Chain A
């Protein structure tokens, strides 16, 4: 009898719970870096395994921090363009650092045989730094001024002309 008395409440509760069930759960938002902000410090190995701390290791320089992968067709064009910039402005304090996003060393080495670059290439195998920089797609390029603050941020690829224009503004 007691069970029967409780039945309406159980039914009502079940109906209401069923309605409230499809509540979406939002995933944690990755970092959002804006112009003027200083990016987080991170240490990553280069192809030889030597660690490099960015942006501390390049403090006082104009830095281009380029996130890329080998399957990104735009990166195939943009990385040589960055090499041209690097050669042109390195004496005036430009440093280019390319960060590979989540790929094995062998894949990166094979890609760099096609695209010969002399600037440092770092490996973010676990994509922790990529996430810390709020990189949601490649290519993504950060331009840091001599104070270490983000001056420009390019989402997607940029032409060599655009890259030159941005670097000239920072020199």
Chain B
């Protein structure tokens, strides 16, 4: 039993040795195959890594979203909420809290960009602002600098940058400026007690739907957006982006099919001769197929590993610089693309099964006919 196992190992080692030396003999072709194969794996894996990281990031971001947001719609457009709206909503049974929020957009002709102004939940000193990382980079504005804005009444408002928001939150805060409530009202001319919208939370998830239904009953021009609706919108947006990713994936698949077709379309005369020689020297058909399987794996396995490692470096430390131009859309202020690494074992396994396994099998299948034929005929 031990001797049989030893001979099997010995046989496998010889086959592996021979497959390596045969690959080395055709090193030009082997290297070319390796490079194209690694590139295909790199692109496919990059797309999958990026898609997973984006999905993960959007789900994390929405965890902090309010349970529901109430806006007032006038003539089909979003309008300010008067003080009575908050009071009315707080009277609804099941409402735990209704907090007025102030936010708006400001066009800066200097940088030709729109900034998002917002009043944070925790108060901040008047005359100061926290600046999004994108604006800081775009305007070269840093802690201690003074930035000027034009108020709704045409006056100059100067605010001191008290801090630049961390780069890690750039996806949400690249164009964000946080200011005090007083400064916000002075800048945009929002009267006291009026808010952009209301963040409402219910006492329990069961009451949430009832509250969301009751609000438009009491306030006819109110529109309620629940967290689920926001999730749905993000998912749809992601699907659109996913469409672009699918195109990249399709191109990668096409490249792989071209490679596989080359392997499956037959062997060169030299390869057929090699098989003939092996068969004539007593090699079993199964050994020849195993050799060809190894030859396929010698290229596909290292190429898979190299492509996967490169894809990881490209998407995470490299901020997916090859794919982001197609995904980010147009903007003056781009966030820094810092993605949290998401590695899913099932994804890697799937990629392995879809690339290394079929390629190696195709390599063996292509050799099957030559291995079955008469060695003399094959050699001739």
Chain A positions near chain B (C-beta within 8 angstroms)? 5, 8-9, 11-13, 15-16, 18-20, 22-24, 30, 32-35, 74, 134, 136-137, 152-159, 162, 166
Contact = CB atoms under 8 A, between A and B. Distances in A.
B146 to A, nearest CB: 5
A156 B36 contact: no
Interface string B199-239: 00000000000000000000000000000000000000000
Interface string B10-37: 0000000000000000000000110010
Contacts of B376: none
B264 to A, nearest CB: 11
Grouping DSSP codes into helix (H, G, I), strand (E, B) and loop, the A interface class, with mixed when no group exceeds half, is: mixed
Contact of B36 (A5, A13, A24, A30): A13
A12 B258 contact: yes
26 contacts: A8-B261, A9-B262, A12-B258, A15-B255, A15-B258, A16-B251, A24-B321, A24-B325, A32-B142, A34-B142, A34-B143, A34-B144, A35-B142, A35-B144, A136-B138, A152-B145, A154-B145, A155-B110, A155-B139, A155-B145, A158-B146, A158-B158, A159-B156, A162-B146, A162-B158, A166-B146
A155 B262 contact: no
A100 B254 CA distance: 57
A129 to B, nearest CB: 15
A129 B36 CA distance: 48
Given A12-B36, A136-B139, A157-B156, A22 B146 contact: no
Contact of A154 (B43, B146, B258): B146
A35 B141 CA distance: 10
A72 B364 CA distance: 74
B357 interface: no
A8 B149 CA distance: 59
Contacts of A35: 142-145
A74 B261 CA distance: 67
Contacts of B248: 19
B143 A155 contact: no
A136 B138 CA distance: 9
Contacts of B146: 152-155, 158, 162, 166
Given A5-B268, A12-B255, 7 more contacts: A11-B258, A12-B36, A19-B43, A19-B248, A22-B326, A154-B158, A155-B141
A159 B154 CA distance: 12
Contact of A9 (B32, B110, B322): B32
B39 interface: yes
B261 to A, nearest CB: 6
3 A-B pairs closest in CB distance? A156-B148, A35-B144, A8-B262
Nearest to A23: B322
Contacts of A23: 321-322, 325
Interface string B152-166: 000010100000000
